[in-house]
Structure 1
C-alpha cells in the first residue's frame, strides 16, 4: 500500500516520551477520556515496560533507501568531507535515527484486581506483584487510522508480554462499538463494566497471556 507509513518501529516507551504521548492522547480522545500528564508521568515511571509506542522513524541520509544512486553519492561525498573536518574532535557516535514521530501508543500498569475500575486508574495503584495488566490507553493518530496499525501494535504488545511472562492476563475497558475490533485480536467480551469513568458505559474485555513455544 503506497500510503502505508514508512520506517515503522515499535519500542517500549520511557518518561522521555511523555510530551509525545500527551500530544497523541489529545488527538485521539475527547477531553473527558484523556489520560492526564500527571498520570502519564506516573505510569511511564513505574511501568515503562508495559507501555509501547509505534513510531515513524526518519533515518540518516545513508540509510534512506529512496534516494537515487546519484543523489546518494553526492550526499555521501558531502558528509565524508564534513567527517574529515571533525575527525580529530571527540564526538559521540551518532545514531542513524534522526527523528521519531509517535503515531500510536499503549499505556498500562499492573492493577490490583482482575478488572479495570475507577480506583485502578488512579495514581499510586500500580501493583508490581499482580498478574493482571490493565491497559489504560490505546490510541492511533487519526491521520494514520484505517491502516490496521491498531491491530499491529496490539498483536505485537500481546506477543511480547506473553513471551516475557510478566502477567497472566491483559484487561481493558472499551466502548460497545469497539468490542468487535478487540474480539478480532483475541479479547473476550466479559459484559458491561462496573467502571463508569467519564460518566460513560464501558465493557470489560480480557485476553490471556500464553507464551508461544518456538520448539516445534
Structure 2
C-alpha cells in the first residue's frame, strides 16, 4: 500500500519526489545468508509496461552496517541540512533519523496509519503482532527536536513521521493469508497449523511483503515516502535476506512503485480493504549489483 492522506485526503504518485542518485550514496556490503524459499502454487506473469528499474547508486565509504542507519538518510540530514543556515527549506525542522521499529513503537505506528482511509489501515493488533514477530523487517523515520528546543529546555518532540511495516512469506506475492495474523500468536509461537497457506509471518520464505508504507499527512509531498522506500529496498538487498519484495497497490500508485523497480504482475486476489489491488513485485535478481 502507498502513503496516502487521511480519509478525506487522497494522494497520488505525483505528490512524491524522485530521489536523484547523485543525492544518495549506498554501501556495497552485507553478508547475511539468504533465507531459503520454496516453490508455491501461485504463478505470476509480468504485465507489460514501460516502468524503469531502480538505477544503481553511487558507492559509499560509509562503514556503518546497512541494517542500521543507511547512508541514504544522509540526503535528509546531511546535504539538505547544509541549507538550514538562513534558509526556509521544507526539511529544515525535521532533523530526521531512521530506526528499526519495535513493539514499543506500536502507538506511534497507529498514528502514522491515519494516512490511510479507515478501511485500509493496519489495526493495532496487527501492528503489535508484526512488530513483535519480525521487527527487523520494519523501518521508521523520526523527526528530532532542534538544538534550540533542547537548549531552551523544551520537552523533546521526537516523532515518528513515516514507517514501513512488513512480514515474510513463502508465497510469491501478498495474499490475504500473509496479511492476516493468528489470533493466538501470543501463546502459540507457530502459525503452521495445516492450512493450505500459513497465516501471517513465516520465518522461512523468500518474499518480504510490505504491508504498509505510510507518511503522516502533514509530512506528505516532501519526498519522505520515496526516501524511505529507496532506503528500505537497498537495506534488504544489501543484507541478502530475501529474493523479492512484494506489495499491493491501487492503479493510481503503480507508476510510483515502478520507479523503484516494482513490476506490475496484474490484479491481486487479495480482498483486504475492499480489494481492487494490483500485485507489485521487485525481484532482486533483476537489479544490477552495485
Q: Give the TM-score taking structure 2 as reference length.
A: 0.59
Moved more, 98-107 or 31-40: 98-107
| Residue ranges of structure 1 left out of the alignment (5+ in a row) | 80-96
Map 1:40-189 to 2 at 5 A: 40-58=127-145, 64=147, 98-124=156-182, 125-189=200-264
Higher helix share: 1
CA positional deviation for 1:213:
5.6
SS in 2 for 1:58: coil
Moved more, 98-107 or 203-212: 203-212
Distance 1:207 1:100 in 2: 32
* Cα 1:107–1:188 shift into 2, 3 Å: same
SS in 1 for 2:158: strand
SS in 2 for 1:204: strand
CA positional deviation for 1:20:
0.3
Distance 2:270 2:207 in 1: 16
SS in 1 for 2:235: helix
* Structure with higher RCO (Cα < 8 A, 6+ apart): 2
Task: Quote the residue 2:270 is aligned against.
Answer: 195
Distance 2:124 2:274 in 1: 21
Distance 1:132 1:213 in 2: 19
* Cα 1:213–1:195 shift into 2, 3 Å: closer
Distance 1:208 1:9 in 2: 28
Moved more, 194-203 or 40-49: 194-203
Distance 2:210 2:112 in 1: 16
Distance 1:8 1:164 in 2: 23
Distance 1:99 1:147 in 2: 20
Distance 1:10 1:114 in 2: 28
| Residue ranges of structure 2 left out of the alignment (5+ in a row) | 1-87, 183-199
Higher strand share: 1
Q: Give the TM-score taking structure 1 as reference length.
A: 0.78
Residue 39 in 1 paired to residue 126 in 2?
A: yes
CA-to-aligned-CA distance 1:46-73 (integer Å, 9 cap, x gap): 11000110110115xxxx2x69xxxx9x
SS in 1 for 2:259: helix
CA positional deviation for 1:17:
0.5
* Cα 1:188–1:212 shift into 2, 3 Å: closer
Distance 1:209 1:11 in 2: 23
Task: Quote the residue 1:93 is aligned against.
Answer: none
Count residues in correspondence: 183
Distance 1:178 1:213 in 2: 26
Distance 2:283 2:96 in 1: 27
Structure 1 runs of 4+ with >6 Å offset: none
Residue in structure 2 matching 1:28, options 87, 108, 115: 115
Residue 11 in 1 paired to residue 11 in 2?
A: no
